Amino acid sequence: MLKHISPLISPELLKCLAQMGHGDTIVIGDCNYPATSTCNKCVRADGVKATGLVAAILEILPLDVDEPGAPVTLMGSTDHPDMRPEIWDEFEKIVLEKEPKATFDSTDRFGFYEKAKDAFVSVQTSEEKYFGCIILRKGVWFTK
């Protein structure tokens, strides 16, 4: 066990986070997300909610807030494009608590799958809330 690393982050996921570079993305998918078929590298997080994992990841992963484009992408409905999934409020609260400069983008399910194809890693969680899927783009970290 390591100090200050959430037990929600498995050793396999920790290795992936450490290997990611500036601009790489990570997908945190819900229990229905096709993590294996949309990304070459899939890590399972069985028994873990997406919201909890996002909070844990953002304790150690800087977001890419100083580059063009939103560093966070949320998955929305293809059939009901005006629907705002309730989990989005939870994701936004968690992200903004950890990184107040973060901005958000959203896309329908198929647009999300297309973006996910370029992800460094995809994580399959046990999240059961509708559209509990999010993409985070890694930023840079400097000590001063």
* Range 11-137 classified under CATH 3.40.1650.10: yes
Residue 98, token pair as written in the block: 């950890």
30 labelled catalytic: no
Q: Residue 11 has what pLDDT?
A: 94
What residues in the chain have per-residue pLDDT under 50? none
Active site annotation includes 22: yes
| In contact, 47 and 77? CB cutoff 8 Å | no
Over the range 112-135, which residues count as b (16 or more CB within 10 Å of their CB) and which as e?
bbebbeebbbbbbbebebebbbbb
pLDDT at res. 39: 87
The reply to whether 80 belongs to the active site is no
The full set of domain ranges for the chain reads 11-137
Note the pLDDT of residue 1.
Answer: 66
pLDDT computed for residue 81 by the predictor: 80
- pTM of this structure: 0.95
What letter represents residue 130's amino acid?
Y
Given the residues 22, 66, 89, 105, select the one marked as catalytic. 22
* pLDDT confidence of residue 141: 85
- pLDDT of 41 reads 94
The phi, psi pair for 8, rounded to 5°, reads: -70, -20
- C-alpha distances in Å from residue 144, one per residue of 56, 91, 101, 141: 24, 29, 19, 10
Q: Which of 4, 30, 33, 64 is catalytic?
A: 64
Instruction: Read off the pLDDT of residues 117-138 as tens digits, 9 standing for 90 and up.
Output: 999 999 999 999 999 999 999 9
